[in-house]
Amino acid sequence: YLNLLLINSFILLLFYSKIFPYFKIYVDLNYTVPCVRLLNATHQIGCQSSLSGDVGVIHFLESEQNLDWVLNTGHSPPYMVVLEGANFILSSMISFNSSGRVAGVAVIEPNTNLPGDFSPHTQCPNENTGVYTEQYDPAYAHCNRTLWNPLGNGLSYEQFHFPIFSLKDDNDTQVIRQCFQAHNLGVNGSAPEYPLCAMQLFSHMSAVTDTPTCIRRNKIQNDFSISPEKVCDPLGGVNVWTSTRLINNTDKGHKKSESVVIAAARLDSRSFFFDLAPGAQSSASGVVALLAAAQKLCFFFFFQETFDYIGSSKMVYDMETQQFAVDMDNVHSVLEVGQVGLRSSNSPIWLHSDPVSRRNSSVDEETAAKNTNVNVSEPDASQPLPPSSFQRFLRARPLPGIVIQDHQSVYTNRYYESMFDNPENLNMTYPPDLSPDEQFNFVTETAKVRGNKPSCPVTLCTVSQLLYGFLIKSKNPWFEQIIPSDFASRLVDRPTNFYTGVHLQKSEASFLVEYILANLTGTVVNVTQENCKNQRENEDDKDNKYFYSYSWVQGALAPNSSDRQSFCVRSSVRTSPAISPAFDLELLTSSDYSTWTESRWKKITGRIFLVASHDLEMLTLGVGIGILLLSLLLTYIISSKADILFCSGREPTNATY
């Protein structure tokens, strides 16, 4: 019976082999997350592969000692280096970059966070676009006084000329490991023999050099091509804002006798790899804190800030040029919530402020800490502000303001702007064996610490559910109820991606914040679906659309059915475009505004296969040419003597007449 089975499989293999030789050769990788190319006014950062993909012999890097094989002694360069997360360090990557023997790198994401720290961001985030420039106060410029992200290694801002992908530790990676162990390890220390296991990665990026170049090429494509193909897109998205006081949205510019306190939080994050930005401590913590306090505040904003303050610079620009519902004269002060997730229950909340503007006594008075029921503390008076949206407001004019953080001085976030800034970083743990719904309702310790403000009647449940929704799964019962049905597919079974993304799309985080804000600050109104979608309360209503925005949301599942009881929510939540003023003003070489763009690409994929030795390939070619020449020679000879050979009293067959 086994024999029969064997024969069957051979035959089936034959059948499939004749029709699909591709599957006998290649194993396509299912989960591939690339590092993409980003450009700004002067540089390009990130990774690039060649147009037809980069091929390299796989080598698993065990430790730094193994580097020598890849860089110097290995017999079959170029190599595709496969690393565990712990070996993904700056010095190795720099040596690969300059080596010329490395075709690419694949990083295996560990299942739990690394024991040490890993921050691929720079040590002084948004160094040149904050308020601390040489003109403002040279003592504070370039993080002279306080280096905010001391653990940063700047890996995200390097330029690599080979592809770098991130892989999960799953079946595909097991296949790679097995292939490597079967073929690429030499026996008894000798060099491994062909065929060797190799990997090919495709991540060709269309844009090159810097932003002015790629924008210029975009223009050329637009003007002269029948089907224009852009090469890059400016980063950005939307800023989400709302006010609990009625503001006429179409009435731009200064509003008489309006004095608002702006409450702000950062809405985006990034990591070394594309679209893999959990941003738990760097942005989600601030977003959740601000959302949880939503009912209490007046005017509040969520900005896209990671890449040189795109969101807040645009908002300040709009306010200054009378393109927003209020202007800078209406702004009384700014209260910003920064990274607040890593606080333990005893430590205070730190209120950071700007020492330079506080030299002005009127600003100083406003800023001085008011009496609160929360355990707050102020850092040293000469410490500058951490990177924050408030800095962009200060660039416009001196304003009182504070930035709330959970650390006194430098960041305590060990994984700032990396793929490890996830719930584990916040010590958010759930007891095992909980179903997703049970996890959703479970109040974690993290939530308790964050939500425990006795003067604020905020439910712990809301904070916990927000944390779950942003950091574990955005597809949960509450989020499903508060979004319109068109966007139901944007909720996913994984953590929310906080990556800023290109300005043409709303990031996952901003889309969620928009509807959560509407749910928390808005009211349910009894309006028909048609009226709701047309932004009015009834057929005659023409004015409400200037003050409110209406959205028709899915609502809860009716019991025992798959239909939802949808309803209309009226709120003042609006989105304003977050694209750097540099693009509107065409100041693409500006150092005052963000000029970040993201390259476009066609194909991101990877596959593994065996490669044969060069000698064998040349031998095949030689044999082929030999056979061709031999047959040409033989045929010529035979055909020239055909009439002798085939003559037997009858007419010749191959006579050359």
| Distance of closest approach, residue 171 Cβ to another protein, in angstroms | 14
Cβ nearer to another protein, comparing 179 with 342: 179
> The dihedral of CA 533, 535, 537, 542: what is its sign?
negative
> Does residue number 656 form part of the binding site for another protein (CB under 8 A)?
yes
Looking at 197-205, 228-236, 341-349, 511-519, which segment touches another protein (CB under 8 A)? 197-205
Nearer to another protein, 173 or 531 (CB): 173
Q: What is the CA radius of gyration of the chain?
A: 31
> Whose Cβ is closer to another protein: residue 407's or residue 607's?
607
Q: Interface with another protein includes 653 (CB under 8 A)?
A: yes
Site string for another protein, 39-68 (x = CB under 8 A): ----------------x-------------
Q: How far apart are CA 300 and CA 290, in angstroms?
A: 8
Spatial distance between the Cα atoms of 491 and 469, rounded to a whole number of angstroms: 10
CB 102 within 8 A of CB 79: yes
Site string for another protein, 165-184 (x = CB under 8 A): --------------x-----
Q: Quick check: 375 binds another protein (CB under 8 A)?
A: no
Determine, following the binding rule CB under 8 A, whether residue 200 of this chain makes contact with another protein: yes
Residues 6+ apart with CB under 8 A from 5: none
Smallest distance from another protein to CB 5, Å: 7
- In the complex with another protein, which residue's Cβ is closer, 55 or 460? 55
Mark the segment that binds another protein (CB under 8 A) among 387-395, 445-453, 528-536, 648-656: 648-656
Contact 156, 270 (CB under 8 A): yes
Taking alpha carbons only, the member of 76, 74, 81, 75 closest to residue 102 is: 81
| Candidate list 195, 253, 398, 577; residue touching another protein; CB under 8 A | 195
Q: State the minimum distance, in angstroms, from the CB of residue 564 to another protein.
A: 40
**Contact region for another protein (CB under 8 A) — 67-75, 110-118, 455-463, 615-623?**
615-623
Please state the closest distance from residue 107 (CB atom) to another protein, in A.
Answer: 22
**Separation between Cα atoms, residue 54 and residue 203, nearest integer Å:** 9
The answer to whether residue 370 forms part of the interface with another protein (CB under 8 A) is no
Window contacting another protein (CB under 8 A); options: 17-25, 65-73, 243-251, 589-597 = 17-25
373 or 648: CB nearest another protein: 648
Contacting residue, 10, 185, 360, 485, with another protein by CB under 8 A:
10
Q: Judged by CB, which is closer to another protein: 26, or 259?
A: 26
Three-class SS of 297-356: CCEEEEECCCCCCHHHHHHHHHHHCCCCCCCHHHEEEEEEECCCCCCCCCCCEEEECCCC
Can you tell me the distance from the alpha carbon of 409 to that of 149, in angstroms, rounded to the nearest whole number?
A: 10
Residue 584 corresponds to which amino acid?
A: D
Burial of 101 (0-12, 13-18, 19+ CB in 10 A): middle
C-alpha closest to that of 291 among 514, 473, 575, 481: 514
- Which of 51/647 has CB closer to another protein? 647
**Is residue 650 involved in binding another protein (CB under 8 A)?**
yes
Smaller CB separation from another protein, 364 or 643: 643
* Nearest-approach distance from CB 178 to another protein, in angstroms: 10
* Window of 19-27, 127-135, 151-159, 371-379 that interacts with another protein by CB under 8 A: 19-27
How many residues bind another protein (CB under 8 A)? The answer is: 63
Q: Which residues contact 23 (CB under 8 A, 6 or more apart)?
A: 16
Q: Show contacts of 249-256: CB within 8 Å, 24+ apart.
A: 249/325, 249/546, 249/547, 249/574, 250/546, 251/325, 251/546, 252/322, 252/323, 252/324, 252/325, 253/322, 253/324, 253/327, 254/322, 254/326, 254/327, 254/329, 254/330, 255/325, 255/326, 255/327, 255/330
Using rule CB under 8 A, residue 381 touches another protein: no
Task: Answer yes or no whether residue 1 interacts with another protein by CB under 8 A.
Answer: no
Please, which residue, 26 or 229, has the CB nearer to another protein? 26
CB of 1 to another protein, least distance (A): 11
80 binds another protein (CB under 8 A): no
Tally of CA atoms within 13 A in the half-sphere of 219 that contains its CB = 8
Task: Please report whether residue 429 would count as binding another protein according to CB under 8 A.
Answer: no
- Interaction mask 221-240, another protein, x per CB under 8 A: --------------------
Coil, helix or strand at residue 607: strand
Identify the residue whose tokens are 């974690």.
444
**Residue list 574-613, contact with another protein (CB under 8 A):** 607-612
Query: Which are the contacts of 285, defined by CB distance < 8 A and separation ≥ 6?
Result: 339, 340, 341, 342, 406, 426, 450
Judged by beta carbon, residue 574 or residue 607, the one nearer another protein is: 607
**Is residue 643 a contact residue for another protein (CB under 8 A)?**
yes
Contacts of residue 591, defined as CB under 8 A and 6 or more positions apart, other chains included, come to 41, 128, 129
Please state, in angstroms and rounded to a whole number, the distance separating the CA atoms of residues 486 and 556: 15
Closest CB to another protein among residues 198, 288:
198
Query: In 3D, which of 148, 168, 116 has the Cα closest to residue 415?
Result: 116
Task: List residues near another protein by CB under 8 A.
Answer: 4-5, 7-15, 17-19, 21-22, 24-27, 55, 179, 195, 197-198, 200, 607-612, 617-618, 620-625, 627-628, 630-632, 634-636, 639-641, 643-648, 650-654, 656
